[in-house]
Amino acid sequence: MIFQRIESEGLAHYSYMIGDRQEAIVIDPRRDCDPYIDIAEKEGFRITNILETHRNEDYLIGSIELASRTGAEIWHAEPELGYRYGKTVEDGREWKAGRLKIKAIHTPGHTSGHMSYLLHDSKGNPWVLFSGDTLFAGDVGRTDLAGKERIPEMTGLLYDSIFSKIIPLGDHVVVCPAHGSGSVCAASIADRVWTSIGMERLYNPKLRHTQREDFIKNNGQELEVPPYFRKMEELNLFPPLLSNLPVPTPLSADKFMEQSSRGTVLDSRLELDFGAAHVPGSLSIWMGGIPSFAGWFIDYDRPVFLVGETEKTAEVVRMLARMGYDRIGGSLSGGMLAWHMAGEESASNGMEPVQSLCGRIDGGEDFFILDVRSEDELRKEGRIPTALNIHITQLPGNLDKIPRDRPVHIFCGSGLRSTIAASLLQRAGWKDITVILGGMAGWKSQKCPVEK
Amino acid sequence: MIFQRIESEGLAHYSYMIGDRQEAIVIDPRRDCDPYIDIAEKEGFRITNILETHRNEDYLIGSIELASRTGAEIWHAEPELGYRYGKTVEDGREWKAGRLKIKAIHTPGHTSGHMSYLLHDSKGNPWVLFSGDTLFAGDVGRTDLAGKERIPEMTGLLYDSIFSKIIPLGDHVVVCPAHGSGSVCAASIADRVWTSIGMERLYNPKLRHTQREDFIKNNGQELEVPPYFRKMEELNLFPPLLSNLPVPTPLSADKFMEQSSRGTVLDSRLELDFGAAHVPGSLSIWMGGIPSFAGWFIDYDRPVFLVGETEKTAEVVRMLARMGYDRIGGSLSGGMLAWHMAGEESASNGMEPVQSLCGRIDGGEDFFILDVRSEDELRKEGRIPTALNIHITQLPGNLDKIPRDRPVHIFCGSGLRSTIAASLLQRAGWKDITVILGGMAGWKSQKCPVEK
Amino acid sequence: MIFQRIESEGLAHYSYMIGDRQEAIVIDPRRDCDPYIDIAEKEGFRITNILETHRNEDYLIGSIELASRTGAEIWHAEPELGYRYGKTVEDGREWKAGRLKIKAIHTPGHTSGHMSYLLHDSKGNPWVLFSGDTLFAGDVGRTDLAGKERIPEMTGLLYDSIFSKIIPLGDHVVVCPAHGSGSVCAASIADRVWTSIGMERLYNPKLRHTQREDFIKNNGQELEVPPYFRKMEELNLFPPLLSNLPVPTPLSADKFMEQSSRGTVLDSRLELDFGAAHVPGSLSIWMGGIPSFAGWFIDYDRPVFLVGETEKTAEVVRMLARMGYDRIGGSLSGGMLAWHMAGEESASNGMEPVQSLCGRIDGGEDFFILDVRSEDELRKEGRIPTALNIHITQLPGNLDKIPRDRPVHIFCGSGLRSTIAASLLQRAGWKDITVILGGMAGWKSQKCPVEK
Amino acid sequence: MIFQRIESEGLAHYSYMIGDRQEAIVIDPRRDCDPYIDIAEKEGFRITNILETHRNEDYLIGSIELASRTGAEIWHAEPELGYRYGKTVEDGREWKAGRLKIKAIHTPGHTSGHMSYLLHDSKGNPWVLFSGDTLFAGDVGRTDLAGKERIPEMTGLLYDSIFSKIIPLGDHVVVCPAHGSGSVCAASIADRVWTSIGMERLYNPKLRHTQREDFIKNNGQELEVPPYFRKMEELNLFPPLLSNLPVPTPLSADKFMEQSSRGTVLDSRLELDFGAAHVPGSLSIWMGGIPSFAGWFIDYDRPVFLVGETEKTAEVVRMLARMGYDRIGGSLSGGMLAWHMAGEESASNGMEPVQSLCGRIDGGEDFFILDVRSEDELRKEGRIPTALNIHITQLPGNLDKIPRDRPVHIFCGSGLRSTIAASLLQRAGWKDITVILGGMAGWKSQKCPVEK
């Protein structure tokens, strides 16, 4: 028997492959679909069906990709969207894979056509619920993507799906959601990598509100919508076939200088490297942050040029491809070392450990503190005295709130998002910018002052 | 967070590695311990503690191996056995790994000092039970290893452990046992690779007997004890350090001929290859069957010589090392092709598809049918008319029941175990032996006669 | 600096990737072109140019494949063939890769437009000759592919290329040919995996004939032309884009039975497995023999169905794809074990060690010996008394020479090619066929009689 | 046939594995010897003999390691050294591996007992010379390791070895030396990865001096001797058995702070990362520079603590182990990001692109330029006006030449070695230190002034 979770790191997206007696089913495949095929080949399984739980907003679905290489049938939830390929799942439909049975359960809320899938074991007992974006470990799916005005309606549907359809399945049923901790598809998924309906019934804070009205009031939140969600929704109706991941052309420093002006320069190095020296005008997103932040700051209309370690380039390309950024203009061959050896000019930004800021915060010195953490973090961890809070994702629309004539110190949880902010400000013309290394974590270690 | 199951294929042994914030704990590590170290190195974790659920009988525990390379502390259950290394777990003891907490629960039954470990998630909620050999998916641990006379006592302890300690933890708790489907440590583990206490409470046939007496009567079975269990028990008190898997010396046909006479020749090829031609006097166990059957038929006192595919030799060596067979005399370089090209003589046995036997079974022809399937299979699948049933593992002690003057046809589920039997008989001097290809599966496909 | 040989095993085809300072050139790439891209990505190199030495007959060139993924330019030798993509190399043309220089040298003979490429090191000294199919270790390129009547002309051109263009480059120049030992592109390539012009001048038996007439007389041989050469020549003018290797659908025994009748069943197992049991009507070519023999016996017009080990299926598919067999109908899921367990009927053939035949060869027994070794082997190793010699590749056209009413014993070097022959005869209706295990190698070990 | 070069990157050490018909020989194996064993297992070869060309100074030989796992025999050159294991090679001794023959040729010069090994192909023709440290591509072995006073004697021996024993073998013989470009065992090895005796005879600048006296005068150079050479020489008489590479314990920031004070902190990140922030008191050697520079600056008597990327830690450990640094105290878990998040203080150094220095060099500003490039580079590339030149390796003994009261700008080829120097100066108490990014390469790109 096959029972595999295939994770897209960074996106915290979980897809699943189950199978028995040489027949396999894949749920919500990712676009770089080699893992499913490799498992099938190694174990001698045929992938017969691809089941989608819902139309995704945070990544390009790999159904077409996988079907084109295996001949599997694609099953879409949400037929109303007008897919141009695949078949439509109806509530209650069943599929077989050897002795296993899997059954569709309509669980609207996150979207109106969302399907969950209940896997029965080889004895026919209900065993695992693939809950898509309905129920996560420690959280529930967001209900604001159909528009602000429909939040109460959608949250009510979600309540019904969870309390009338999922919880009655029993505490013992294993739950396999479409996302884990770190996803943008819910506010705060827990890090229980395996969970059960009972675990959620008992410990999921969102399910404490067992009355419908109460649930709607407390869980009908509006969350941030990264601009690329709209692009994903559009592309997911018929994702372009990838076949192989793009291979970025390595460019010498002078060629990179020349060509990258027509696109976005993405620097995937860590905060220290970027702060020390970077290609002028480049955008900083450290590698691990690309799935969360690329969609906020990178245009689909212009090619992306990469700065970072050669051995990590392929992984950056993979992450971008999952979000539909297929136009890679090239990469800086030899990295910043080669850039400097070619005599090219670089930019830098200030960096200071927390100690330095901590000691000066009350000193009457004239500088400005920008804190790019989220509301949620501010609530949990407290605020830095005198700082202006703008969440990193909202920075581009709020630049006018930041003074241009005073030194700007940027603060976040660790220094990583501060460096994104530093690059955004530099691109917009700011000069005197300093990233606070260690961020809130360091701040607390040093017992620096915090306002609740 | 790390939560990984590391499986030893064939043995169906599951070990686990959990960790948070750079601290990791390994439960019941296997002897070829690279996977734990690789995960730790890749993720930057330190393995701080190694927890054993019980003294194992079916494989050599890797605690010493892993501790010698990482400096982790070893914690034994069952101190009464007199381990010569490591520390003793007491009921209720707790360990931390980052924000995770893990707690020992004494759950005797399979052995008297058996410990289960309850993992709490980062919020402190009970989450996963590492149940060792107490509770499996669809089965419970065997209780006969302390001796036949103590079965009722041990089964009663097991009842108490399960019904008074485990089930009260709640249906929602995820269960991670030490074995999966295919293990020799229980009669019939289900193929639910992930399960929960509720799944077992509801669907585990062994737990239907909710009364203590009833449970003891029904689950106090005596199962077969492979002879190597005793060796494992002895060695597990202080397993020899392996460092690296042995590298068998490839031997030319003539050297193999000469040297292998002082050991056991193990042929790991499939039934067709072995039947067509093999080194005279060799023992057949197809590769996938080595973890289950090597311990029945291979001496620890003599070196093992290998015949099989070159590219699979390392995997065979790994399987044997897990069971403490560290003395590998060499391998036949170039396999049987080289053997024949060197002009060496080979032996063979007859092979017939089921059709052939099926057509002749009532024909009055004089031949003998030996069926080497287990009692359990006979009960479920039925018997072949006129066949003598001796389970493959009991064959060496029952050779006198098989006639030497008539053709012997050997039957099992598929043909694989029949080939083991064929090799045992040939080594004992039988000449006219035929393996029935397809076995019971083919027999049924052809609707040949079965007696219930 | 990059200097890599990428080998296509079995075909004994060598391609090369050289590079300096982030620029790389690939010579004669294979169709499954991941290795070049992986090296380039890992080292941060850009593949700028793809150079072909000549139009190949024995495999599909990967130029289009590699160019489509990297944007490299393709350079063809032999423009007269009318390629529908790429550019034409002219004699003397030069390319740069960092400080390296590579220069085209027209070396006709194997084909009329054949180009060799002389690599100069970073100091500008001539260093390595990529000699394509002109000069091999221990052999020279065949000159019979332009037709029998043009052999003297082409052999003369080859003489001129070698003696007037290559040898004058100097003994010290390293030679990197397009093929190694085992290729069908020359009669007997030596197993010197690295060689030099001097090594060849001194030790290559074909170059002993230093007079033009003498060279033509001795080296103007007509060799066998596998039927698929014509297909390769045709396809190589514009090879179909592959993108990813085909993924064969695993088929259950009954589906395989049903569907495979419309194609060729290729069984890639070894001689013993096939002899013991195989799908009736299947063609045997052991895995290592596929590059050499598939092109003789498999139709391009019908799909190929695979029988063999699951874990080797992908490699068989890869080998077939290199020869343009892209239509894979499916594979037998679970192999012959599953076939028998489904109760399907199988065929078998006799197998006997050399001893058995050796003892009976003079006994007046009525049987027929077919020896499928090549003329070259017969000359070197001698003949078996009373045997009829038909080279395995010529067997389909010479079936009428083999009696249908007597037992047929088949003989080759080891038993592998005999099994191909056995399968061909069985497909043509022969019943009583026996493969001699060990073949000529075993025969000699046993000192059985040989006629020179 | 097997013919493999196994390279130890960084050290530019080449070892070789050759084999035929299941027998293999390894020449100068490295200590982390998995590659040889993996090849042998995959191909079914037995490693029968291990040949050493000479006692090495730049790495720990892996003979004992490999012999302990395979049972191969070890053959030492230079018996006078008093090895405590293995056997002694005599001039002219021969070994077989299948049809291959390999013969020892005494070629003193680099050391007095140095052996080269001449491989003959399967036809018995001399084919490849494993020349050890006698003859490299573009260079010859250094002759100063026996002491300054013996340089003329040793250089004369080298002349005799090359001109009387090697060159007479013929231009066509392929040469496989023990080192490639980048090694410390010769001044300037060329980047011809494969070469021949003729290539060297014609293009090796050291061989232009064909008269003995002339050769001695020109090639009898004294080169730098890293302090660890003495350690290697001592350890190579009986290298400690490694079995498995050490696994460094990941330490949290506070534990790292506490424990690392008793050892050397090695920071393997690039120049920008280190310059931006590092653990106070740490030594910078970028990863690629470890094989060349660790032996100059790291004590054998104290444990090494590692700062760098988690995923590269194992590779750093491997590099250190090759040089006998087996005591790894631990690694900084989570790197500098975690360090700052823990609120720990970090140090930094100034960084400036070449433009900045170039513009100020004549401005009368008061700063000091330290150029840490080698004499050889100064000769080839020119000097920076006003700079003091101290080769990086000589810096610890020449600190008194550097002013403590003025800003120090450090210059090298790129900025990497400057960062080593910056860390050495910081550890010795200097405060105002700036690394010039881009170094000589950038300097020239910007056409800044150079003195020849």
Q: Note the pLDDT tens digit of each residue in D34-52.
A: 999 999 999 899 999 999 9
Q: Which residue of B has its CA nearest to A191?
A: B1
- Whether the per-residue pLDDT at C363 is higher than 70: the answer is no
Q: What angle do CA A436, A442, A444 make, to 5 degrees?
A: 125
Q: Above 90 in pLDDT, residue B356? A: no
Confidence (pLDDT) at C181: 87
Average pLDDT over residues A155-181: 97
Identify all chain D residues contacting A277, using CB atoms and an 8 Å cutoff: 272, 351, 353, 437
Q: Is C353 on the interface with B (CB under 8 A)?
A: yes
Tell me if chain B has a CB within 8 Å of the CB of C267.
no
Q: Is B450 on the interface with C (CB under 8 A)?
A: no
Using the Cβ of A272 and the Cβ atoms of chain D, whether some distance falls under 8 Å is answered with yes
Q: Is C332 on the interface with B (CB under 8 A)?
A: no
Q: Which residues of D touch B250 (CB under 8 A)?
A: 22, 44-46
CA distance B354 to C6: 48
Query: What is the per-residue pLDDT for D341?
Result: 96
**D191 and C121: CB-CB below 8 Å?**
yes
Average pLDDT of the segment spanning A223-250: 90
Half-sphere exposure of D406 (CA within 13 A, CB side): 12
Q: How many CB pairs under 8 A join A and D?
A: 104
Q: What is the mean pLDDT of chain C?
A: 94
Q: Is B49 on the interface with D (CB under 8 A)?
A: no
Cβ neighbours of C16 in D, within 8 Å: none
pLDDT at D185 over 80: no
Q: Measured between CA atoms, how close is B340 to chain C, in angstroms? A: 4
Q: Does D194 touch chain C (CB under 8 A)?
A: yes
Nearest to B250 among D45, D244, D251 (CB): D45
CA distance D337 to chain A (A): 7
pLDDT score of A360 = 82
pLDDT digits (tens, 9 = 90+) for C1-42: 899 999 998 888 999 999 999 999 999 999 999 999 999 999
Say yes or no for a CB contact (<8 Å) between B414 and C337: yes
Interface contact flag, D71 B249, Cβ < 8 Å: yes
* Amino acid found at A284: S
Which partners does chain A have (≥3 C-beta pairs < 8 Å)?
Answer: B, C, D
Nearest CA in chain B to C444: B343
B371-384: pLDDT as tens digits: 999 998 999 999 99
Could you tell me which chains touch chain B, where touching means 3 or more CB pairs under 8 A? A, C, D
Contact A334 C44 (CB under 8 A): yes
Chain D residues with CB-CB distance to B69 below 8 A: 244, 247
Angstrom distance (rounded) from CA D167 to CA C172: 12
Contact (CB<8Å) C202/D127: no
**Residues B50-80: b if buried by 16+ CB within 10 A, e if exposed:** bbbbbbbbbbbbbbbbbbebbebbbbbbbee
In D242-334, alpha helices (H):
253-259, 271-276, 290-297, 313-322
State the pTM of this model: 0.93
Distance of CA C292 to the CA centre of its chain: 4
What's the pLDDT tens digit per position in B389-446? 999 999 999 999 999 999 999 999 999 999 999 999 999 999 999 999 999 999 999 9
Region C166-176 average pLDDT: 98
Amino acid, res. B398: N
Cα(B298)–Cα(B296) distance, integer angstroms: 6
Mean pLDDT, rounded, for D291-308: 96
Separation between Cα atoms, residue B439 and residue B373, nearest integer Å = 10
> pLDDT tens-digit profile of D340-378?
999 999 999 999 999 988 888 776 678 899 999 999 899
Mean of the pLDDT values across residues D203-214? 96
How buried is residue A303: exposed, middle or buried, by Cβ count under 10 Å (0-12/13-18/19+)? middle
Q: How many Å apart are CA A212 and CA B365, to the nearest integer? A: 77
Which of C9, C119, C192, C197 should one mutate to test binding to chain D, selecting the residue with the greatest count of D CBs within 10 A? C192
Q: Which residues contact A100 (CB under 8 A, 6 or more apart)?
A: A1, A18, A19, A20, A119, A120, A121, A122
CB contact under 8 A, D174 and C174: yes
From the list A43, A243, A247, the residue facing C70 with the nearest CB is: A247
Indicate whether B315 pLDDT > 70: yes
Of C170, C192, C195, the CB nearest to D198: C170
- pLDDT (mean) for D202-225: 94
B202–chain A Cβ distance below 8 A for any pair: yes
Q: What's phi and psi for A188, nearest 5 deg? A: -155, 75
The predicted pLDDT at position C368 comes to 94
Would you call C85 an interface residue with chain D, using a CB distance cutoff of 8 Å? no
DSSP state of D166: I
| Chain B residues in contact with A181 (beta carbon < 8 A) | 1
- CB contacts < 8 Å between B and D, how many? 63
> What's the rounded Cα separation, in Å, for the pair B4 and A50?
26
| Residue D34 CB partners (closer than 8 Å, separation 6+) | none
pLDDT for B365 beyond 80: no
> Which chain B residues contact residue A175 at CB under 8 A?
none
- Name the pairing type of β-strands A13-20 and C126-132: unpaired
Q: Are B171 and A172 in contact (CB under 8 A)?
A: yes
Average pLDDT over residues C333-345: 96
Residue C242 burial (10 A CB sphere; 0-12, 13-18, 19+): buried
Q: Percentages helix, strand, coil for chain C, rounded to the nearest 5? A: 35, 25, 40
> CB neighbours (10 Å) of residue A181?
18
Q: Does residue A173 sit at the B interface (CB-CB below 8 Å)?
A: yes
Q: What pLDDT is attached to residue B189?
A: 87
H helix intervals, A309-353: 313-322, 335-341
C9 close contact with D: CB closer than 8 A: no
User: How far does A266 lie from chain C, in Å, by closest CA?
Assistant: 17
Report the pLDDT value the prediction gives residue A176, as an integer from 0 to 100. Answer: 97
pLDDT at C23: 95
pLDDT for B363 equals 67
pLDDT tens for each residue of B94-135 = 999 999 999 999 999 999 999 999 999 999 999 999 999 999
Mean pLDDT, range A267-274, rounded to an integer: 98
Q: Is C123 within 8 Å of chain D by CB?
A: yes
β-strand partners of B128:
B119, B174
Comparing A78-87, A397-406, B149-158, B436-445, the range with the smallest average pLDDT is A78-87
D444 near A CB under 8 A: yes
For testing the chain A interface, which of D9, D252, D267, D272 should be mutated: the one with the most A CBs within 10 Å?
D272
Name every chain A residue with its beta carbon within 8 A of the beta carbon of B3: 193-194
Q: What is the mean pLDDT of residues B270-280?
A: 98
Whole-Å CA distances, C420 to C112, C372, C375: 35, 10, 18
Please report the pLDDT score of residue D14 as a whole number. Answer: 95
Measured between CB atoms, which of A277, A346, A415 is closest to D337? A415
Nearest by CB to residue A172, choosing from B1, B123, B199, is B199
Give the separation between CA A398 and CA B210, rounded to whole angstroms.
65
Determine the residue of chain B that is closest to D66 in CA distance.
B247
Per-residue pLDDT for A313 more than 70?
yes
Question: What is the ipTM score, two decimals?
Answer: 0.93
User: Taking CB atoms and an 8 Å limit, are D250 and B45 in contact across chains?
Assistant: yes
Chain B residue whose CA is closest to D39: B311
Chain C residues with CB under 8 Å of B416 CB are 337
The minimum CA-CA distance between D34 and chain C, rounded to whole Å, is 22
Chain D residue closest to A254 (CA)?
A: D445
* Cα distances (Å, whole numbers) of residue A108 to A63, A170, A181, B119: 21, 19, 22, 33
> Would the CB atoms of A337 and D275 count as touching at under 8 Å?
no
Nearest CA in chain C to D20: C191
